Amino acid sequence: MTVDQSHDELHAQAKRREVTLVPGALVNLLEYDLESLTAFCQLLGEKRFRAVQLFRWMHQRGCANFDDMSDLAKSLRQKLKGVAKVVSMEVVSQHMSSDGTIKWLFDVGGGNVIESVFIPEDDRSTLCISTQAGCAMGCRFCSTGHQGFSRNLTTAEIIGQLWFAEHFLRKHLQRDDRVISNAVMMGMGEPLQNYAALIPALRMMLDDHAYGLSRRRVTVSTSGLIKKIDALGLDCPVALAVSLHAPNNALRDNLVPLNMKHPLEELMPACVNYLAHAPRDFITFEYCMLDAVNDSDEQARELVQLVKHHGHSVTWCKFNLIPFNPFPASGLHRSKPERIQAFAKILSDAGLTTTVRKTRGDDIDAACGQLAGDVVDRTRVAIRIARQRSVGIHSSPTAASTNAKI
């Protein structure tokens, strides 16, 4: 996996994938966006409208059995049975929280599980989707990061989470209409590190013949892979969230190691440039509130300066403050509620739209950063984090002086 692919390479990956018929093997059709499915159907001698029908059966109706696809010719159904299948991952467990949040664990083989979380709210229902088994980025406050990286998910595994959740919920809630209105790539993994598989999955989320979600309601969250932010703007512009977590490079280097490769002076312009393609006129910065690490008044003011320095006004971004969800290995603590409020006030007094995220699904460990799953660390990221921990966090003079407990 490389961080530095050119846009041409990325763009080529995002284009239609190779569609082949492998003798004796069944192709999982959840792997294909509509364009690829059309190419697949053409290989079988079928016209595009057949691909549309098939696509709608799978994604709009949740049908995995070709025999049930009643308006497809019998001969085509027979043909499909010989070359294709529609399968999602096996559900290992399902936990329902008292607040309505549901967390599913899916088996992705090789001893790995990934997680998806359904979060119902009054005005929307969101599915939080994983894009990798584990994560190689090694952010210090993230339990997925501490678990290390195992592998990229396939397109079928990414879209399979929405496919399963949407159709499970329709049955469970006895509804015929769409249940999930928003999708956020904020589960396990760094979505832009899995660019080639992500883009077709995003296209399926947006496709009116599939889930028909609005671009504004599909969010990719990234720790800051800047070339891929640029590429996303061209290949499939959806809402963008960037995990900032620190107002300066010294602290961000420590919390989000990717910052050493792409520091703030590169990341911030990439965010501003994305606005030209974004479906909304702002991007969201996520900021995990860590007690005595990144939550001082001075750091809030530094953040305001950072935003002002890179944009003409402060309205080009919004801040989402996430109370840290602790896990023992992190050695970190959640900021006190009054500290979070004081921090938020400094941002909003400076004109920055700022929200504090409600934590959901606490009783079932479904909150941000707690999606750990069971991952085999193949990139030794856990060792790297352990080394970071022994160095400690030295950010700004204010943070350094309150660092003793870390």
At closest approach, how far in Å is the CB of 148 from ligand SF4? 10
Where do contacts with ligand SF4 occur on this chain (CB under 6 A)? 135, 137-139, 142, 144-145, 189-190, 223, 243
CB 379 within 8 A of CB 372: no
Look up 368 and say whether it is catalytic: yes
Q: Is 190 in the site for ligand SAH (CB under 6 A)?
A: yes
CA-to-CA distance for 364 and 345, rounded, in angstroms? Answer: 31
At closest approach, how far in Å is the CB of 118 from ligand SF4? 19
Q: Choose between 107 and 362: whose C-beta lies nearer to ligand SAH.
A: 362
Q: Choose between 88 and 294: whose C-beta lies nearer to ligand SAH.
A: 294
Report the partner that residue 324 touches, choosing among ligand SF4, ligand SAH, none (CB closer than 5 to 8 A by kind): ligand SAH
At closest approach, how far in Å is the CB of 352 from ligand SAH? 17
**For strand 84-85 and strand 27-28, is the pairing parallel, antiparallel, or unpaired?**
parallel
Query: What stretch of H or E contains 219?
Result: strand 218-222
Of 46, 115, 190, 286, catalytic = 115
202-231 residues near ligand SAH, rule: CB under 6 A = 221-223
Q: What type of residue sits at position 207?
A: D
Rounded (5°) CA angle 56-57-58: 90
Closest to 142 (Cα-Cα) out of 395, 328, 330, 359? 330
Three-class SS of residue 41?
helix
CA-to-CA distance for 341 and 345, rounded, in angstroms? Answer: 6
259-318 residues near ligand SAH, rule: CB under 6 A = 286, 288
Q: Choose between 182 and 223: whose C-beta lies nearer to ligand SF4.
A: 223
Q: Given candidates 325, 335, 354, 395, which one binds ligand SAH under the rule CB under 6 A?
A: 325
Q: Choose between 186 and 229: whose C-beta lies nearer to ligand SAH.
A: 186
At closest approach, how far in Å is the CB of 264 from ligand SAH? 15
Look up 115 and say whether it is catalytic: yes
Q: Is 186 in the site for ligand SAH (CB under 6 A)?
A: yes
Residue with tokens 């997925």: 144
| Residue 153 per-residue DSSP state | P
Strand order in the sheet with 283-289: 90-96, 102-107, 113-120, 125-128, 182-185, 218-222, 239-243, 283-289, 317-323, 353-356
Q: What are the φ and ψ backbone dihedral angles of 179, each rounded to 5 degrees?
A: -95, -50
Of 41, 236, 288, 368, catalytic = 368
The residue whose Cβ lies closest to ligand SAH is: 369
Report the partner that residue 286 touches, choosing among ligand SAH, ligand SF4, none (CB closer than 5 to 8 A by kind): ligand SAH
Q: Is 38 in the site for ligand SAH (CB under 6 A)?
A: no
CA-to-CA distance for 29 and 40, rounded, in angstroms? Answer: 9
Give the interface with ligand SAH as residue ranges (CB under 6 A).
141-142, 186, 190, 221-223, 243, 286, 288, 322, 324-325, 368-369
What residues are labeled active site?
A: 115, 368
